[in-house]
Amino acid sequence: MSLKAKLLLLVTLSITVSVGAVAWLIETRAHEAFRHVEEERTATLVNQFRREFEHEGVEITRGVGAIAGSDATLRSVTELANGAEYANYVNQAATDAAAQRLDFMDLIAPDGAIISSAHWPARFGYKQRWFLDHLAPLPQQTFLRHVETPQGSVLAMLCLRTVHVHDLNFYLIGGRKLDAVVQSLSPPEGLRVAIFSAPEQGTGEMIGPAKETFADTKVASLVQKVLEQHGDASTTVDLGPEQEEVVHAISLPGFTDRIPAVLLVGNSLEQELLLEKRIRNISLIIAGLGVFIGVVVSGIVAARFTRPVKALAQAATEIGQGNWNVHVEASGEDEIGKLALAFNQMTEELMGQRERLVQSERVAAWRELARRLAHELKNPLFPLQITVENLLRARQNSPQEFDEVFQESTTTLLAEIANLKTIIGRFSDFSRMPTPQLQAVDLNDLVRNIVQLFQGQLNREPARIRPELQLGAVPAVSADPVLLRRVVENLVLNAIDAMAKGGTLTFRTFAVDRFAVFELSDTGAGLTPEECDRLFTPYYTTKQHGTGLGLAIVQSVVSDHKGSISVTSKKDVGTTFHVELPLFQGAATIESGNGRTGSGAIGS
């Protein structure tokens, strides 16, 4: 990643994090404020419910008390106590309940038998003893309890009164449905209220105008928790996309310790969520704008700072690629400018050192050449000198033998001069390497010819060398046949020299991709890694009488053929030369083993 990209990323991240942090802070504060308001609203509604509950309780108490204290009731109860038939009073509860606007009213005999029931007239005669079996004193205030009706169990606010006649207690239980209290509530917008009625038997149900909206598994588990723990609890319910609600569950005590109902107050978080969404949107817009402005500004700034750095990097790259003549523009007096100046100084210094190094290498090369020449020329010159001195000595000391000596000396002189010419020719060849005339060459054929040619040298006793041909299917290579033959011959001669005690010389050919490979492995003494490294250096040799140009010429020829040569060797095991040559374009594979070439393909 470039420096500019890093700078842009850093600026973007910084702006985003900053805006995000601010947005989070605002959102948190807004959330706290909303929760505070929500708690106040819930408390207000619960207080309203309690007031309505108490008011309704007072009404019910007054109504039931009025019935219990009325002359008609006293008369009826007296008659009943005196043995009047219950059947005559079967409709009395309904009449009394209607007069006092009560939903429920039971007139109950001392033994708990229902004499008259307003809400379930058909239930006369059945026993109702839940309050008689209650050990504590009967409550004077209203209480919550489920009342059995033909339609099922109904949650009611009840009031119980006793009418005492002739040492007998008759009971009046009257009340109203609790949903009337819930209906009378007027919750502000965003608040919902319902009551979960939990009868002793069967499943519970919701009461109230908002009962449908509390149908949620989380609310159900909240209610269950309140019923079991006898305490209040709250939960947040997800009502859909961007609609959440805090639901408070408040237990409502009943006639016994069992909780008969739970007040549910739902406080919509819609406004809060809307505000949070708005904050998020604004934050996103600010962040987006900030990022845009940051990118533009940081882009400009980064461009200003990174341009000289980029120029320096480019210059360094060019130097790496060998172009030393590079100059960086110093843009100012700052650190970047100083860096550019330092870079320029460094390159100038490097260039000077390079010039000096080239000069010294050139001198060293000349010295090496001079040493080689001196060494090579000194060997034939010494016999020449001896021979000439012998001639001079023979003329002076024994003129009768001079002719014989002269004859021998001239032969020697000619031989040494020929030797000198050979040495000079080699140097001349190296300096004037001919340009290869490329054509399709059957590599396998070439190898077989050379093996045939060197058959005599290979079979020389006692250092007999056994040639082994492993020639694969190799297409024609693009090569100059004369030069290529010289390459192979050179390598074979080197191998023969390496195997003074005889061995095996393996010729191997095969094709890899668009190249033909020729490998020659001997089983000679092998080379050290250092020798391998310097093997293709001109004038380097490991032999007593080598010029050190053979393998240098081989490498030069292979290189002129756009090929490559490498060597691998292991001491006391042998050496392998690996030559890769490009295939001739359009060449066909040449069958191995029979010595024939693909006639139609080569050169076409």
Residue 326 makes CB contacts below 8 A (sequence gap 6+) with: 315, 318, 319, 347
Of positions 25, 44, 125, 360, contacts other proteins by CB under 8 A: 125
Contact between 88 and other proteins by CB under 8 A: the answer reads: yes
Contact between 86 and other proteins by CB under 8 A: the answer reads: yes
Nearer to other proteins, 73 or 117 (CB): 117
Contact between 84 and other proteins by CB under 8 A: the answer reads: no
Of positions 65, 121, 337, 472, contacts other proteins by CB under 8 A: 121
Stretch that binds other proteins, among 79-87, 136-144, 251-259, 509-517 (CB under 8 A): 79-87
Contact between 120 and other proteins by CB under 8 A: the answer reads: yes
Contact between 122 and other proteins by CB under 8 A: the answer reads: yes
In whole angstroms, the minimum distance from the beta carbon of 85 to other proteins comes to 8
Q: Identify which of 207, 189, 190 has the alpha carbon closest to the alpha carbon of residue 198.
A: 207
Q: What sign for the dihedral angle of Cα 90, 99, 181, 53?
A: negative
In whole angstroms, the minimum distance from the beta carbon of 90 to other proteins comes to 5
Whole-angstrom Cα distance, residue 188 to residue 46? 12
Whole-angstrom Cα distance, residue 547 to residue 494? 12
In whole angstroms, the minimum distance from the beta carbon of 86 to other proteins comes to 7
Peptide bond into 462 cis (omega under 30): yes
Stretch that binds other proteins, among 119-127, 237-245, 431-439, 478-486 (CB under 8 A): 119-127
Q: Please report which residue ranges of 129-201 form alpha helices under DSSP H.
A: 179-184
Stretch that binds other proteins, among 19-27, 120-128, 371-379, 538-546 (CB under 8 A): 120-128
> In DSSP terms, which residues pair with 192 in a beta bridge?
266
Phi first, then psi, for residue 199 (nearest 5°) are -70, 165
**CB 261 within 8 Å of CB 296:** no
Contact between 320 and other proteins by CB under 8 A: the answer reads: no
Nearer to other proteins, 113 or 275 (CB): 113
Of positions 91, 234, 379, 564, contacts other proteins by CB under 8 A: 91
Q: Identify which of 90, 89, 98, 113 has the alpha carbon closest to the alpha carbon of residue 66.
A: 98
Assigned token pair, 530: 């250092």
Phi first, then psi, for residue 444 (nearest 5°) are -60, -40
In whole angstroms, the minimum distance from the beta carbon of 201 to other proteins comes to 12
In whole angstroms, the minimum distance from the beta carbon of 126 to other proteins comes to 7
Number of residues that bind other proteins (CB under 8 A): 14
CA distances 322 to 58, 156, 312, 318, 350, Å, are 105, 100, 15, 6, 12
- DSSP H or E stretch at residue 469: strand 465-471
Separation of first and last alpha carbons in the chain: 52
Stretch that binds other proteins, among 52-60, 117-125, 172-180, 321-329 (CB under 8 A): 117-125
Indicate the burial class of 401 (C-beta count within 10 angstroms; 0-12, 13-18, 19 or more).
exposed
548: left (phi over 0), alpha (psi -120 to 50) or beta: left
Nearer to other proteins, 106 or 480 (CB): 106
Nearer to other proteins, 87 or 357 (CB): 87
Contact between 124 and other proteins by CB under 8 A: the answer reads: yes
In whole angstroms, the minimum distance from the beta carbon of 149 to other proteins comes to 10
In whole angstroms, the minimum distance from the beta carbon of 239 to other proteins comes to 35
In whole angstroms, the minimum distance from the beta carbon of 72 to other proteins comes to 14
Nearer to other proteins, 116 or 575 (CB): 116
Nearer to other proteins, 89 or 305 (CB): 89
In whole angstroms, the minimum distance from the beta carbon of 151 to other proteins comes to 10
Contact between 573 and other proteins by CB under 8 A: the answer reads: no
Packing angle of the helix pair 335-397, 402-431 (nearest 10 deg): 160
Whole-angstrom Cα distance, residue 205 to residue 195? 8
Contact between 126 and other proteins by CB under 8 A: the answer reads: yes
Of positions 81, 90, 247, 261, contacts other proteins by CB under 8 A: 90
Contact between 123 and other proteins by CB under 8 A: the answer reads: yes
Binders of other proteins in range 166-225 (CB under 8 A): none
Contact between 150 and other proteins by CB under 8 A: the answer reads: yes
Contact between 113 and other proteins by CB under 8 A: the answer reads: no
Other Cβ atoms closer than 10 A to 535: 23
Q: Identify which of 391, 500, 488 has the alpha carbon closest to the alpha carbon of residue 442.
A: 488
Nearer to other proteins, 85 or 238 (CB): 85
CA distances 11 to 15, 129, 294, Å, are 6, 79, 6
Other Cβ atoms closer than 10 A to 81: 18
In whole angstroms, the minimum distance from the beta carbon of 87 to other proteins comes to 4
Query: Interface with other proteins by CB under 8 A: which residues?
Result: 85-88, 90-91, 120-126, 150
